[in-house]
Structure 1
Amino acid sequence: MTRLWVTGYRAYELGVFKNDDLKVAVIKYALKRELINQFEQGVDWIITGPQLGIEQWTIEVVNELKADYAVQVAMMAPYLNVEKNWQEEKQAQLAQLKTQVDYYASVSAQEYQNPSQLKGYQSFMLTHTDAALLIYDPEFEGKTKYDYFVITNQQNSQNYPWQSVSFDDLQEYAFAYGEEQESDKNY
């Protein structure tokens, strides 16, 4: 069993406020290509969080790919009721996604108390995964910078492979996505 931690930017950090934003289609296209590559290298579990953006889009993409790949997806929340202060629509979206994962749990058995729960979450993710994929560019910081720092530090102390998809990479995926959409129109 090979487990991959997937994380990245929150939707608002990417300027995405609607699910039908073209950026979402491009990011899902990039995630699909990256995940297929991971599955072909033996990854059979995707472990991610509940955050709006890369983490939730990852779950959606994995569920689409399950028809072709023997893979499972887990959603791990850092603490209970992570969505407690979210808008009702976003809470409903998360509730729906929870029914679509193979495993869901909270790392902490309490609601948010302090930042140590987030550090505990990172520690859990590192010890329960074999590698990481970040949709993150260190030149454009966001909340994922904390995961980036802990992952790169982990890689320095032991063999913990990771890769990131930068904004330049996303631009390349955007070109490929556009070309694929154009060729589909011509058929």
Structure 2
Amino acid sequence: MKTLIGGYRPYELGIFKNNDPKAEVLTDFLKHKIREYLETGTEWFIIQGYTGIDLYAAQCILELKDEYAAGLAVLKPFHDFEEKYKDEEKILLNKILAECDFHQYIFEKPYSNPGMFRQINRFLIDHTDQAMIIYDEETPSKTRFLYNEILEFQSNNPYNIERIQFDEINTFIDSRYDS
């Protein structure tokens, strides 16, 4: 089974430094969720390589490789998509690319028009069996486009989606950190 992971960028969550405690908590949460997916049959995880949830999840998957046999694929949307990343984000992405099992561009060219994003989302959905999306409608995000595309696809096709909202993350925090 192939699982697509997507979600917020760090700035959308108020995270502006890699050592922010919120990033650590999200990483703990993602590791917990990824472990659940591994234990229920996920063989491949697919991310796009965006900062935030994508890269946090990739780090977790790579850390869990000693315990589980699962692949990590990074399907970058198009050439130069990460050119606006901070240097530390570029270093992290390159580290993940060096350690992942597969990486490639969806479009073998630079960004040229907004329609590319819908095509990218559709490609990702067509090449996965399910998705884990960190997205809460109360907090706007570009993730809504991917989420809505999955819902549209799901109306006529078998496709599992787990949308994780902040309430679930807060419950995790309460159970793990407030003891």
- Tell me the TM-score normalized by structure 2: 0.95
1:122 match: 121
TM superposition shift of 1:94:
1.6
What is aligned with 2:46?
47
- Partner SS, residue 133 of structure 2: strand
Residue number in structure 2 paired with 1:174: 173
Over 3 Å counting, the alpha-carbon distance change for 1:25 and 1:177 in structure 2 is farther
Specify the alignment match of 1:185 in structure 2. none
Question: d(CA) in 2 for partners of 1:134 and 1:156?
Answer: 17
Aligned to 1:79: 78
Q: Please say if 1:158 is aligned against 2:157.
A: yes
Q: 1:89 to 1:78 in 2, by over 3 A?
A: same
How far did 1:119 drift?
1.4
List runs of 5+ in structure 2 lacking aligned partners.
none
Distance 1:150 1:40 in 2: 27
* Equivalent pair of 1:29/1:177 in contact (CA under 8 Å): no
What is the one-letter code of the residue matched to 2:12? E
CA deviation map 1:131-154 (0-9, x unaligned): 000011122221101011001111
RMSD: 1.2
- Counterpart for residue 99 of structure 1: 98
- One-letter amino acid of the structure 2 residue matched with residue 22 of structure 1: P
1:38 aligns with 2:32: no
- Which of the pair has more CA radius of gyration? 1
Contiguous gaps of at least 5 residues in structure 1: 183-187
Distance in 2 of aligned mates of 1:116 and 1:137 = 24
- Following TM superposition, the consecutive aligned residue runs of length 4 or more in structure 1 with deviations greater than 4 angstroms are none
Identity among equivalent pairs (%)? 29
Aligned-partner Cα distance in 2 for 1:63–1:85: 25
Deviations 1:13-61 (A, max 9, x none): 0011111111111111111111111111110100011111000011000
Deviation of 1:88 (Å):
2.7
Deviations 1:87-131 (A, max 9, x none): 333222222221121111110010111112211211110111000
Structure 1 segment 108-119 matched on structure 2, within 5 A: 108-119=107-118
